[in-house]
Structure 1
Amino acid sequence: MLHKDVRFRSSLFVGASAFALLAVATAAGAQQTTETVTVTGSRIPRANLEAPTAVTTISSEVLQMSGTVNVSDMLRSVPSFGVSGITATNSNFATAGAGISTLELRNLGEKRTLVLVNGRRWVAGVAGTSAVDFNTVPTDLIDRVDVITGGASAMYGSDALAGVINVILKTDYEGMAADFQTGRTEYDDEVQYKAHVMFGGNFANNKGNLVLSATWSRNEGAWAKNRANLATDLLVSGGKSSYSDYGYFAIPSTGKAYTVSSGTGATGTVSAWSSSKYGFDRQPYRAIETPVDRLVLSTNGHYNVSQNFQLYMETTFANTKSAANIEPYPHASADLDGTENDLMGVSIDNPYMPQALRDAVVAAGDNYVTYRRRLAEFGPRHYDANRDLYRLVIGAKGTVFNDFNWDTYFDWGHTLDTQNGTGQVNIPNMREALNARVATAADITAGATVGGAPAKVGDIICSNYYTWTSKEGCAPINIFGKGAVSPAALKYVTAPASRTANIDQQVLGASIEGPVATLPAGDLHVVGGFEYRREFASDVPDALSQSGQNAGNKEPETRGSYNVIEFFGETEIPVLKNEFLAKELTVGGAVRWSQYGAQGSTTVTNAYTGRVQWKPVDDLLFRGQYAKAVRVANINELFAPGGEDFSSVDDRCYSEPLKPVGKQNPQVIANCAKDPVVKARTAANGSFDLTLAERQGTGGLSGAGNKNLTPERSDTWTVGAVFNHDFGSAGALEFSVDYFNIDIENVITTVGRQQAINQCYEAASYPNTFCTLFTRKATGPTNLQGAITAVNTGYFNQGYLKEGGFDFAINYNVDLNEFDWLKSALGGVDVGQINSRLNWTYTNNYSDQSFGTVTNDNGFIGAPKHKAQLGFIYENGPVTLQWETDFQSRVYVAPGELTSIRPYYLHNLSGSYQITEQVQLFGGINNLLNIRAPFVPNAYATTGTTTSADVYDAIGRRFFVGARLKM
């Protein structure tokens, strides 16, 4: 069924593309329409690139010089960008998202960063969210990338609280271009290949233009084992992992631990546990950068039916294959839950248990051992993801009434993400396989089998008769000793994991723009338009994962959709022009009304913007903007069913009275006394005294959606100045400084399990909303009631996010040949020109408040107070050289800690040589000085490195070379 669905979408996609091409190829018309310049942040075309708010522009030339294969890799170093939630270097342990590449602005999250391509939304790459996978964006077709930060909902809609990333693709291209690139690290990994070809040309007597682009790239990933400082697992306290492939066996009553040091099963040698001798080294299995293969096919075309009427289209097909790889599964007896045959571990009756271990268990008065076992026979946990993106834009635009420009389009995008994993455990089958005994003659008569084959007297078989007679093919498992698991048992207890995610986006939009009046200072422009958008997403794990039987907690499927209809308007009013100290003064604004519908509920939002630009003289511009922006909850936040969670919680009604007098919270004591179930048990027993089992048996769901969420709202202020002057022979300088302040309220966040209990009993008002998030046992005898049985947590509107600071940008370009003394000193040769740029962000406030607690994260890992990028490009004839330095200031590890991390610099060098007009060679070295990423405590457990691999470079020095051909 899945393959048929994919074929249907492919046919629909190809058919629609063919129809659009047929339309542009057969229509009749006259001249080409006049292009206008639209600056990101406003829908009103302008004669120059003086934006109403700060715009950072990254050109295709800068992208090419950097040698980037994926545009997101280069953009992350721009100071206004935050730490991406998912990248190739931080997603290997996340498995489901491995290899996806997302971007966010200001460290405010992908869900608050809107990604556009040619001013239109791009379909998400992560189900249930708005996060775009930049693997699917055609890097080699990019003309430029515009980035604005701060609220832009009035112009572009929801999700633009942090800002907008607008990728502008090439149009009207004529000719052929091709390039090939390869590279690797000095550790002989992260081997990369890229091949790209692009064709473009006019047709139908130059009435139309079509651009075709195809890119294939491969990144073979980087591995911990190739780096001396990451090669072994001795980086954590206590040495190697106690989840050993020899097995770690503990006697319940004494806690003494043993292993089977040699041999396997009943004849194995039992030794005292030693981490250094028998612990498991995880590092040889760990990828610190996820391998990714990409294929991106794109078209961009238009046809001028007449001078005032143009048809256009864009298509993209992107296929991404990624693979997550980590060490074999760490299985423990705790995974068995003790729910079948009171199985809490391995019984002393298990025939595989070595006699020496059985004797130790019996001597301690126990009848089973608990265990930890690295299931090395399963091989590494490996997850393959295959992601397909289909996108089609069909539109028409033109001019009416001489100078009103209109545009209407349909934008469809679909992402299909299919994943398959190995190395997981089927928990029900593991229970059966551990419940083993020796076959008797009666068993043989009854039809005993081993792995589906007839058993013989003396064979070890599964004890459960049903597993013989069914088609399960139960095979008993031997976990005692390295390599002990038989192929039959491995087949029986292995659980392949899979999940399928579908994301669908449909957008229908129209707008019209033009001058409605002529004022003394110029034309008064207005824009009006509407958009209709429908979003759908589903994420469906395999049946075992959904039931919690795939070596983990339950993962129910997520499915949901919503639609929105929006009307927007914008205006630009010229107030003064060519007056004293008023070369130009304009005011403008925008407004958007939106109505969201989701499963019978309706949400209405309003966003608006006001701005002013004042140019007292030609070279100096002052600008200011206020924006009220909104973000409506995404599909996960609305509809996620929540995942099963058994993490421990502290029942404050039990623990608070046990604290020393003076350390107790009187509000908690008072509120617990009001809880009827707690009150009843206290009266019956004299105190609220819970057993260990009652304190540990707390289940529930975490991360559940909430259909009653209200939109996030933000207030963003930006005030800045731009100085731009050509000093003639001394060069041209552009300098800008902008202050920004973003204040997001009604933040959509999650409440933790313990947080829900704390907020319930610590609040002055009781009961309150948080008390509804957990349940207490209210059945059975009164003296046995009261224990918390489940804590169900999810999304809430709570608190705020605030960020403020300054953005500085300097561009200075100078022709060195204008310095006569320099040219003379070098014998009159051409000395070239230098283009330099500096982008620097200083953040003076980055804080949040949630459930009454204020946290200041400014100056901590991932949120440095200073972040800068300095670049120089030297050009001289056929030679171009680029030096780039990325900088992060000193940060602290965490709030309240004194441990700090030194300032971090990273240097990149690249260059190109134009052999002929058509052929160019290029190459470069990233992390030129092989600067080692700083040590970050506690990072090892989730990245396999000693650093925060999403903040600092964990890969090391790497090289790339390539060639370009243009015809």
Structure 2
Amino acid sequence: MNTKSITQNKYQLTKLASIIGLLLSTQSFAAENEERKEGEEARLVITGSKIRSVNSLAPSPVTSISGETLALTGHVNVMDALLDLPSVSGGLTNESGQFNYANTGMNTINLRNLGHERTLILVNGRRLVSSDVGELLSDMNSIPTSLVERIDITTGGGSAIYGSGAIAGVVNFILKSDFDGFEVEARRNQSDHADNVSDLLRVTFGGNFARDKGNAVLNIESSSSEGLASRERGVTGVRFDRDLNVLNPPELSTYAPTWRYDIGNVQTGWENGQLTEWTLEEDGYRHADSRTLSIPIDRLIINATSHYYIRDNIRAFGEFSYAKSETTNPSDLYWIGSRTSRGNPISIDNPFVPIELRNIALANATDEIHYRGRLNEFGTTGFDAERIVTRLVVGFDGTFAENWDWEISLNRGDVTNDQIGKDVNALAFKKATDVILDPDTGEVRCRDEAFVAIGCVATNVFEPFTEEQMRFWTNNTTLDGKLEQEVAAASISNSSLLEMPAGYLAFAAGIEHRREFSEEHPDSTTASGMSGGIQIDSLEGEYEVDEYFLELDVPILSDVFLAKSLGLNMSYRSSDYSHTGRNDSWQVGTRWEINDELTVRTQYSEAFRAPTIADMFNGNTRVGLSLENIDPCHNITATSAAEGVTQQQADACRLIPGIAAAIENGGTFNGEPEDDIERWAYFGASPDLEVETAETTTIGVIYSPDYFENLTIAIDYYDIAIDNIITGVANRYKNQRCLEGLPVFCRAVERDPTTGVIQSMYNYVFNLAGREVSGIDAEVNYKYSLEELGDLKFRFLYSYVDEHRTQDDPQSGWRDELDQLPYFKHRANLSTTYNYENFTANWSVVYQGSIYDEKGRNYYNNHVDANVLHNAQVRYHFGDKDEYQIYLGLDNVFDQDPPFLPEGYLNGGPQSATASSYSRIGRMWYLGTKATF
């Protein structure tokens, strides 16, 4: 821990607080005892700026969703509503998170398809704690939908204002702060198939106290979703082999509930004491039978907010939130096989081997029987997870003198993420299936005497397993995680610091101190590598960052020809990290109001993202290593090398002692031997990482024509280029770079000193990749009055992506990902709302453009047509004071089927296993009611 930086930071905060307190106590604050004027305009902080102002204008493009608009979407979770926005791509959702075991059940936001770790989440302008241990990924499950006043989304470069992590942009949830009354809401959702049922109950109550000097609000929200199994939908997808040939039948695995025994060249089944014919068509395993399209989740959210005016110009405020989510993440039936670390070949001398199988082995001149299958008695793999996120914010804010605003706050977030599942102890299974006849008793027992002493239960792989057998070689697995975040901040601003010819100079400045801590510990079996062949070490680490920022809003022109106003906004932030050192970010923007109708805005920023605790302090995770196509030295001779191997790499191969011995006298080095040696890949810490950096440019216009009342059009061009992206690197690439003499890659490769064959690979992450994205966003808002018949509101959001490309490392070319799943070129959303007295109806259309996937070769359905979904809701208010509401909604009105996606698509998984960019659930109904008193 950097004690010196903590002490310095506390001194800085104390000093600033003392200055503010001194200013508050002076006689210059003449209005301190006057009552607040009724209707007085408050100076507010808008998203994208730290300056409080009455007429604040966003220095960067901001898309806002009001609480009323959010209600019209009918979504239980704010994440589902955000996914309809063209600029938001799928992060983690209930429909895409099945195999994300570390963060199952989380809902995260991914702006611009730049990765959810590059989108910063705020609540009331302050950081929301991460819910993923070791990472910086905030979970939308902790946001109370009914308490949201509005959501602001600004894309591209927010590091200068808010700090690390805002490369793609910022999502700011503004919660209601002055609620007076009692509100209760209940709703049920279910699909057209009467499944995927979810229930929701919300209660909010609060009001003013102490003669209206204070306000307190309590919100409780409970929801439960039963999830949806893959087998409940007919779309199951297509599987490909490694050469992208279609497998037929497509969805079946050779690791099946009906076990297969390989004896020499013979494949057979064995059931009920007799030989059976084993065929893939009849006995293969369908993954969809045990996987899910939507993960079951139960949520409980409690939020409390309060503020109290100590004096007319000093306010104390507090926010508390508690969010608990429980998920069940089922997956496949547990598979086991003798050609994996989960099983071992059985000798024909094993007393459990049936005579019929022993005879087949003898006829085929082999003394081993290999097996593969699913542990039917064991059940599905997967685990249950409980995540609890608590957040407490306390602080003071106020005003002094004229137009001076200040704030001091402490923000503390805590997360526990506990998972429990079941797995097979690989060593125990190996010992339990290696059996002999006891020479003294004639009974079957485990061969290993040490394991016999601890109760080893002889296990027969030719018969169904018994409970007694499974108790010995299975165990509960646990993964217990904890995360802490602490932020201390102080800021001061003035919207009219200095009068200039074109207006007032405005400024904001402040300091922040943030501490991030994470730890995660697996159970002892997993830590020792005996659970499923995977070893996971504990993670533990922390870092601290001290920051200061400055923002200026400079008026340049006012009320002159072609410039109603022209202003320059500049911001700068310096961040001193305990693990990566000092980094700076800055941005400059202009807002040029040509006249009352036309405004031009521009912005350029340089942003960064710091490495996470998991990046730099992770413990080693060990998995099995495949040698296939990772060693450039494979098949090298004294005079030749494989295609694509450079002369420099080939010469370096020949200098490795084991390889030199293999190729002397005309030999060829075999870097992919078929042997029984266990080889491992390790995933561990990368202490030498640097920050990711990004350059962001936006240029836009806002047009509100006088001749077309209530119409606003905003069009913005954006360009984001990221360098030094923290990324994993393919094993072959690391070997190539090592052979070229780069020691940072050689430390990731370990060869047998005698044979030269690779024994271990270390999968560190490096600052190597690059990514560039550019495009155009458009937003059109229009309100049309039907006079006595009500009014219509239209909102159209459109995103056109001109470029999205990735460079895996500096030596490789750029890979164009545009138009390949999930990098859509065109996405749009059109929402139409009709209001008439107590009746409201909304119809929205969500559009995703066509894609063409080109994963190395053509196959029959590379092209996927555009996808269009229609959603609708009607809502009616009634009662003496319109205190009651009832609403009915329908998502995917026309029951649009998702496209048929094979496994093998770029960034696409097997459709039978997980959802991707298209929902697999189908039409969804919901009915709700709300009462407000």
1:823 matched residue in structure 2: none
Q: Paired residue for 1:99?
A: 105
Q: In the TM superposition, what is the alpha-carbon distance from 1:516 to its structure 2 partner?
A: 2.4
- d(CA) in 1 for partners of 2:863, 2:676: 37
Cα offset, 1:667, TM superposition: 2.3
SS of 1:187's partner is coil
Alpha-carbon shift at residue 433 of structure 1 (Å): 1.4
2:795 is aligned, of 828, 832, 837, to 837
Match of 1:925 in 2: 890
Deviations 1:728-764 (A, max 9, x none): xx64100000000001111111112122113334xxx
Equivalent in the alignment of 1:4: none
- The Cα of 1:909 is off from its aligned counterpart by 0.9
Q: Which residue pairs with 1:959 in the alignment?
A: 925
Q: 1:692 to 1:406 in 2, by over 3 A?
A: closer
Distance change (3 Å), C-alpha of 1:963 and 1:939: farther
Q: Is contact 2:659-2:755 (8 Å) kept?
A: no
Instruction: Provide the C-alpha distance between the structure 2 equivalents of 1:775 and 1:513, rounded to a whole number of angstroms.
Output: 57
When residues 645 and 517 of structure 1 are mapped into structure 2, their CA distance, relative to the original with a 3 A threshold, is same
Q: What is the letter of the counterpart of residue 803 of structure 1?
A: V
* Residue pair 1:832, 1:875 contacting (<8 A) in 2 also: yes
* CA deviation map 1:194-218 (0-9, x unaligned): 0001012000010000111000000
Give the letter for the 1:480 counterpart.
F
2-side partners of 1:633 and 1:542: how far apart?
A: 27
**Aligned residue in 1 for 2:465:** 485
Q: With the length of structure 2 as denominator, give the TM-score of the two structures.
A: 0.91
CA-CA distance at 1:118 after TM superposition: 0.4
The answer for the alignment partner of 1:247 in structure 2 is 259
Partner in structure 2 of residue 776 of structure 1 = 751
How far the C-alpha of 1:351 sits from its partner, in A, is 2.4
State the shift of 1:97 in Å. 2.3
CA distance in 2, matches of 1:390, 1:46: 31
Partner of 2:826: 866
Equivalences for 1:719-868 in 2 at 5 Å?
719-725=699-705, 727=707, 731-761=709-739, 765-778=740-753, 784-817=754-787, 830-851=788-809, 852-853=811-812, 854-868=814-828
- One-letter amino acid of the counterpart of residue 928, structure 1: V
What residue in structure 1 maps to residue 366 of structure 2? 366
Contact 2:636–2:668, Cα closer than 8 Å, also in 1: no
- 1:911 Cα deviation (Å)? 1.3
Residues 90 and 549 of structure 1: is their aligned pair in 2 closer, same or farther, counting only changes over 3 Å?
same
Cα 1:750/1:673, change in 2 over 3 Å: closer
Matched residue SS, 2:747? helix
Task: State yes or no: 1:41 paired with 2:48.
Answer: yes
Residue in 2 aligned with 1:257? 267
1:277 and 2:276 matched: no
Q: Within 2, Cα distance between the matches of 1:709 and 1:900?
A: 40
8 Å CA contact retained: 2:181, 2:932: yes
After the TM superposition, which of the residue ranges 562-571 and 663-672 deviates more from structure 2?
Answer: 663-672
DSSP 3-state at the match of 2:535: coil
Shift in Å at residue 52 of structure 1? Answer: 1.3
- Are the equivalent residues in 1 in contact too, given 2:84–2:846 (CA < 8 A)? yes
Unaligned runs of 5+ in 2: 1-31, 241-245
Partner secondary structure for residue 573 of structure 1 = strand
Q: CA deviation at 1:231?
A: 11
Q: Which moved more, 1:316-325 or 1:702-711?
A: 702-711
Does residue 881 (structure 1) correspond to residue 841 (structure 2)? The answer is: yes
- Please state how far the C-alpha of 1:226 moved relative to its aligned partner: 2.0
The answer to whether the 8 Å contact 1:53/1:148 transfers is: yes
- TM-score, normalised with respect to structure 1: 0.87
Higher helix share: 1
On the 8 A contact 2:819/2:853 being kept in 1, the answer is: no
Deviation at 1:276, TM superposition (A): 2.3
Kindly provide the CA deviation profile for residues 102-132 of structure 1, in whole angstroms up to 9, marking residues without a partner as x.
1111011111111000000011111111111
Query: Which residue does the alignment assign to 2:575?
Result: 594
Q: Could you tell me how far apart the structure 1 residues matched to 2:290 and 2:130 are?
A: 31
Report the alpha carbon displacement of residue 140 of structure 1 after superposing the two structures with TM: 1.4
Query: Is the 2:773–2:801 Cα contact (8 Å) retained in structure 1?
Result: yes
Matches within 5 A, 1:10-29: none
Aligned twin of 2:217: 211
2:902 corresponds, among 934, 937, 956, to 937
> By how many angstroms is 1:47 displaced?
3.0
Q: 2:315 matched to which residue of 1?
A: 310
- Amino acid in structure 1 at the alignment position of 2:799: T
Distance 1:874 1:767, change over 3 A: closer
Partner Cα distance (1:232, 1:901) in 2: 15
d(CA) in 2 for partners of 1:326, 1:344: 24
Matches of 1:767 and 1:679, distance apart in 2: 20
Alpha carbon RMSD of aligned pairs, Å?
2.5
Cα shift at 1:230: 4.2
1:397-796 aligned at under 5 Å gives the runs 397-422=397-422, 424-440=423-439, 442-443=440-441, 458=443, 460-470=444-454, 473-481=455-463, 484-514=464-494, 515-598=496-579, 602-649=580-627, 650=629, 651-657=631-637, 663=643, 665-667=645-647, 670-673=650-653, 675-677=655-657, 680-682=660-662, 684=664, 686-690=666-670, 693=673, 697=677, 699-725=679-705, 727=707, 731-761=709-739, 765-778=740-753, 784-796=754-766
The answer to whether the 8 A contact 1:288-1:944 is kept is no
Paired letter, 1:579: V
Does 640-649 or 564-573 show the bigger shift?
A: 640-649
> Structure 1 residues 948, 901: CA separation in 2 closer, same or farther (over 3 Å shift)?
farther
CA-CA distance at 1:390 after TM superposition: 1.0
Question: 2:26: which partner in 1?
Answer: none
1:652 and 1:675 map into 2 onto residues whose CA distance is 14
The answer (yes or no) to whether the contact 2:108–2:139 under 8 Å persists in 1 is yes
C-alpha distance in structure 1 between counterparts of 2:886 and 2:493, whole Å: 45
Structure 2 residue 326 is the aligned partner of structure 1 residue 326 = no
Provide, for residues 254-303 of structure 1, a one-character-per-residue CA deviation record: whole Å limited to 9, x for no partner: 3321111x31xxxx111232122222343332221000000000011100
Q: Distance in 2 between matches of 1:501 and 1:806?
A: 41
Asked if structure 1 preserves the Cα contact closer than 8 Å seen for 2:822 and 2:917, the reply is yes
**Deviation for aligned residue 1:668:** 5.2
2:11 corresponds to: none
In 2, Cα distance between the equivalents of 1:880 and 1:163?
Answer: 33
1:357 is matched with 357
Residues 564-590 of structure 1, C-alpha deviations (whole Å, 9 max, x = no match): 000100000111222222111111100
Residue aligned with 2:635, SS: helix
CA deviation string 1:499-550 (max 9, x = no partner): 0111100000000001321112221111110000000111212111122111
Asked if 1:387 corresponds to 2:387, the answer is: yes
**Residues 809 and 656 (structure 1 numbering): CA distance in 2 closer, same or farther, change over 3 Å?**
farther
Structure 1: runs of 5+ lacking an equivalent: 1-27, 338-342, 444-456, 779-783, 818-829
CA contact (8 A) 2:120 2:171 kept: yes
Corresponding letter in the other structure for 2:700: G
3-state SS of 2:484 partner: strand
Offset at residue 767 of structure 1 (A): 4.8
Please report how far the alpha carbon of residue 658 of structure 1 lies from its aligned counterpart in structure 2 after TM superposition.
10
Count of paired positions = 882
Q: Give CA deviations for 1:223-258 in whole Å, capped at 9, x if unaligned.
A: 22222344999996346322122311112xx33211
**Structure 1 CA distance for aligned equivalents of residues 644 and 75 of structure 2:** 57
Change in CA separation of 1:30 and 1:250 when aligned onto 2, cut-off 3 Å: farther
The equivalent of 1:450 in structure 2 is: none
Match of 1:120 among 112, 120, 126: 126
- Does residue 1:237 correspond to 2:248, yes or no? yes
Over the matched positions of the two proteins, sequence identity in percent amounts to 29
